[in-house]
Chains A and B, each alone.
Chain A
Amino acid sequence: MKRVLDRNQDKAEQIRSLLKDRHVRMYNLISSPGAGKTTLLEQTCRHLGGSLKVGIIEGDVYTDRDAQRLKQYGFPIVLINTEGGCHLDSNSIDGALKEFDLDEMDLLFVENVGNLVCPSHFDLGETAKIAVVSTSEGDDKPIKYPMLFRDARVVVLNKMDLLEYTNFNYDAFVKDLRQVNPNVPLFETSLTRGEGLDGWYRWLEGETNA
């Protein structure tokens, strides 16, 4: 009996212990394309400003567009182009980490490739997975993608400002999410307006001081 993806898992565990050693927390942001990962990072970078030393690993299929959007905040960014690949793996993260001075870093955000299935199967050695989902995608995501929503340590429900224009059933979403992950913190945001982020910031700060 041989376990497939063991190599990815072993590398992820190495990364996890390296980051623990250097007191760096790494958050793996997972969502479908267009849910708001990059905008969440933009808002978060703006908010954290000079208070924490942040690094970003940007997973992108072919382009550097997201990295370009994030450049203005002055934090170091490493871009990983997956050349069509639908997820990041621990080996590519291992390579990217070599580009950072980990002793000069508090927080690392990994923006995974936009996809709800594949990224949730590949441990990157992250401190926690963050799931981002938006009202325009429909309310059935937690039940359809239980692997991600079970593993997520935080769920961000974005585009709350569009709720009234969609058929998103908020109560059904919360009920399904609670079934899959009863205690996960849920933050409801309108990211393009910069609204609803206080809980997220408090969570990040709580983790920093933990």
Chain B
Amino acid sequence: MHEVSIVNDLFRIVLEVAEKEKLSRIDRVNFQVGRMMQVVPELFRFAFDSAKTGTIAEKATLEIEFVPVRMQCRHCGHAFDVETQEFHCPRCRGVNLDLLQGKELFIKSIEGE
């Protein structure tokens, strides 16, 4: 349930931005999360809906975009997406890999007025 902590921090940032931008209503939050972070969307949405109650984001919708885990082989340089938890290079079977993406927790944008 790290989803709850992530949502709490997300809301802190969203409300900070809203205050700075003088928004009185937030309609939508576009969130980007890497697959490596093992966020369960149902839990995340549940936490989001609980957190938004009584705030200016009360009616906001949450858009979650998942970013695939992308690795690069240190041996042959091949970059590839890890889809089935197979952590080796499909080209040379090397296992010394660098993580290129997959740990994102980004608020891409906030919509409101």
A122 touches B38 (CB 8 A): no
B56 at the interface (CB under 8 A from A): no
B13 touches A146 (CB 8 A): no
A183 closest partner in B (C-beta): B96
B58 CB to nearest chain A CB (Å):
20
Q: How far is the CA of A180 from the CA of B5 in the complex (A)?
A: 26
A145 closest partner in B (C-beta): B38
A159 at the interface (CB under 8 A from B): no
Q: How far is the CA of A182 from the CA of B73 in the complex (A)?
A: 13
A117 closest partner in B (C-beta): B38
A121 touches B37 (CB 8 A): yes
Interface residues of B in 81-96 (CB under 8 A from A): 85-88, 95-96
CB contacts (< 8 Å) of A182 on chain B: these are 95-96
Q: How far is the CA of A1 from the CA of B107 in the complex (A)?
A: 5
Q: Could you give, for residues 135-159 of chain A, a 1 whenever the CB lies within 8 Å of some chain B CB and a 0 otherwise? A: 0000000011111001000000000
CB contacts (< 8 Å) of B1 on chain A: these are 86, 118
Given contacts A86-B2, A118-B1, A4 and B106 within 8 Å (CB-CB): yes
B78 at the interface (CB under 8 A from A): no
B36 touches A2 (CB 8 A): no
B85 touches A146 (CB 8 A): yes
A87 at the interface (CB under 8 A from B): yes
Q: How far is the CA of A117 from the CA of B3 in the complex (A)?
A: 11
Q: How far is the CA of A147 from the CA of B86 in the complex (A)?
A: 13
- Among B5, B37, B86, B106, the residue within 8 A (CB) of A2 is B106
**B residues apposed to A, CB below 8 Å:** 1-2, 5-6, 9-10, 12-13, 17, 31, 36-38, 85-88, 95-96, 99, 105-109
B37 touches A180 (CB 8 A): no
A147 touches B107 (CB 8 A): no
A147 touches B36 (CB 8 A): yes
Which are the 10 A-B pairs with shortest beta-carbon distances?
A118-B2, A4-B105, A2-B107, A179-B87, A182-B95, A143-B85, A86-B1, A4-B10, A2-B13, A4-B9
A1 touches B108 (CB 8 A): yes
Q: How far is the CA of A1 from the CA of B106 in the complex (A)?
A: 6
B26 CB to nearest chain A CB (Å):
14
A8 at the interface (CB under 8 A from B): yes
B9 touches A8 (CB 8 A): yes
Pick 27 A–B contacts, CB within 8 A, sort by A: A1-B106, A2-B13, A2-B17, A3-B106, A4-B13, A4-B31, A4-B107, A5-B5, A5-B6, A5-B9, A7-B9, A8-B9, A85-B5, A86-B1, A86-B2, A87-B2, A87-B5, A118-B2, A118-B5, A121-B6, A122-B5, A143-B85, A143-B87, A144-B85, A147-B37, A179-B95, A180-B87
